[in-house]
Amino acid sequence: MSFAVPACLRHWPVAAALSLLLVSPVSLAQRVSARDRAAAEALEQRMAAAEKRYRDGLVLVANSDPRGATESDAALEDMEDVLAACVQQRGCQVPTLLATYKRLLKGNADVQGGDGEGEGDAIDALDDGTDHAVPAGTGVPETARAAALLNDQRHAFDRMVEYNPAVQAGIRRWLTDMRPALIDSYENYQNMRAELYPAWERSGLPEALLFGIMAKESNGRVHSTSRAGAAGPMQFMFHTGARFGLGRDASGFDTRYDPYASGQASAAYMNERMRSLNNNIELALAAYNGGEGRAARVYRENSGLGFWDDVGYSQFPGETRDYVPMVIAAARLFLHPRQYGLEFPKVAAQPAPLKLARDASIYELTICLGNGGTREGYMRTLRNLNPRYQPEAWIPAGTTLKANARIVGLYSRHCVNGPRAELARTLVSADPAAAIRRGARAGNVAVGDVTPVAGVPTTVATGEPKPAEPKAKQVREYRVTKGDTLGRISQRFQCDLKKLARANNLRAPAYAVRPGQELKLESCRK
């Protein structure tokens, strides 16, 4: 009995073919020849070797070793070859090889040999096979993610929304003028995925929808604010955010800027809207942008009609009519990049804690880390993952920041000691005012012909009275304005940051201030 792959399946992704084969509980253990058993065992050994090679490559990647990418890529190609060969090899136990994937997926995909649903969701022939169901931060290979398709419902989103000319126009905009913003959004999302997505995954909400909303709202910049007062990566208004647990905490930090908290709040909000709007994604998006009251009224008054029906569509403002298709367009590009000739950058975003060995600011870390294989360095990543810290504020040694494995590796190499660490410290500490030479005056007094005036200290070069050391001005107050941080205030008035914070009972490391707050300008020279 032959188990060669049928001709109609030869061009399918490996995982799709496996899903069909696995649903047939046929054991070949006692029907294969010794030669076939030997060939199957050889494939299992190749898979084990590829797994080890891949894990070794990840270690190199985490330590910023350029050989890591080469080794891991080669290991992935070996895994692909082994899986393809196993499908066609009599006696090869596919579940055994899938167990390797289970270990790599680290529990994020429930892949079991005989449990594939095999419901026949067509896999897009032009799709890149990236299901986005496994966190990029886990370091799972793209080919391994194909195994997750056995149980994945990623194409459910496609069936839940309309793919119409308005969405097509949105895709056109994302792929032309807004392509840089889309790429930035993707990179920012992948670096924050471990913070944003867990709540959506638990709620059963489509990840593509999360990406689309975030891309349209903030491009994945957690400190984004709108003219209307919306804030954070998911752009919550203050009162709406408060309903879902967002707002100022005990330290004064606005948790709307926190990606994990805003991920939880946005999942809760979308679940609430979906329940109230009969799981209509377009209407839920209209509520997210244009107000839940308006969306509820449109739905109530036009029962059975959707967002695109002219009766309801005309009741939404122009901004919302633009917003809905743009979110859906970004979501579709997230799911089907290759279909549109789009190649998202690979992002090494395996979460890892970064414990500071010395005082540092995000500015200093950005400089000493360098680009490290990225387009723009790590400032945005560090700010997004650690929104409580202003980029210029000094963060005490011993503080643990959220980061990724690549950042941790670069930090230990460049930022603890050495010339780059010292250069970064010099650059962030540079004071432009120190470039100005003060006190020098033109004259004909020769060196050595200085006649000091009794009781008045003079300079050797000019014989002029030595400038008196500036005295700290008396303590006075300053009212904090929008956009102020304690670091910027200390620079403006030439204050000692720690003394200024202590004088105003501000707690490290955030040193949070709010508009309208009165500060005592202690230890300030301006």
- 344-382 in b/e form (b: 16+ CB < 10 A) is beebbbbbeebebeeebbbbbbbbbbbeeebeeebebbb
Contact 56, 48 (CB under 8 A): no
pLDDT at position 440, please? 58
- For the beta carbon of residue 151, count every other beta carbon within 10 angstroms: 16
pLDDT at position 400, please? 96
Name which of 494, 255, 510 is nearest 394 in CA terms: 510
Asked if 156-340 and 477-520 have one fold, the answer is: no
pLDDT at position 277, please? 92
Name which of 50, 47, 22 is nearest 150 in CA terms: 22
Which residue type is seen at 208? A
pLDDT at position 510, please? 67
pLDDT at position 243, please? 94
Contact 450, 466 (CB under 8 A): no
**DSSP labels, 350-370:** -EEEEE-SS-B-HHHHHHHH-
- From first to last of its 526 residues, what are the pLDDT tens digits of the chain? 433 443 443 344 444 444 444 444 444 444 678 888 888 888 888 888 888 888 777 776 666 566 777 787 788 878 878 877 887 788 887 766 666 655 554 433 332 333 333 333 333 333 334 444 333 333 434 333 333 333 344 557 888 899 999 999 999 999 999 999 999 999 999 999 999 999 999 998 999 999 999 999 999 999 999 988 999 999 999 999 999 999 999 999 999 999 999 999 999 999 999 999 999 999 999 999 988 899 999 999 888 788 999 998 999 999 999 999 999 999 999 999 999 999 999 888 899 999 999 999 999 999 999 988 788 899 999 999 999 999 999 999 999 999 999 999 999 999 999 999 999 999 998 888 889 888 755 555 454 444 444 554 544 444 455 555 555 455 588 888 877 888 778 777 878 888 888 888 887 766 788 888 888 888 787 7
CA distance 116 to 98: 11
CA distances from 399 to 195, 222, 386 (A): 19, 21, 11
CA distance 381 to 348: 11
Half-sphere exposure of 452 (CA within 13 A, CB side): 10
Contacts of 409 (CB under 8 A, 6+ apart): 62, 63, 64
pLDDT at position 42, please? 87
CA distance 365 to 378: 8
pTM over 0.75? The answer is no
Question: Vertex 338, ends 333 and 339: CA angle to 5°?
Answer: 75
pLDDT at position 474, please? 58
CA distance 184 to 215: 9
CATH 1.10.530.10 is the classification of domain 156-340: yes
Structure tokens that stand for 419 in this block = 């010339």
- SS3 of 254-278: the string is EHHHCHHHHHHHHHHHHHHHHHHCC
CATH superfamily of 477-520: LysM domain (3.10.350.10)
**DSSP labels, 162-211:** ---HHHHHHHHHHHTTTHHHHHHHHHHHHHHHHHHHHHHHHHT--HHHHH
User: What pairs with residue 401 in β-bridges?
Assistant: 354
Structure tokens that stand for 436 in this block = 């100005």
User: What pairs with residue 518 in β-bridges?
Assistant: 479
Question: Vertex 197, ends 196 and 200: CA angle to 5°?
Answer: 115
Name which of 108, 111, 107 is nearest 96 in CA terms: 111
Domain residue spans in the chain?
Answer: 7-148, 156-340, 351-431, 477-520
**DSSP labels, 38-77:** HHHHHHHHHHHHHHHHHHHHHHHHHTT-THHHHHHHHHHH
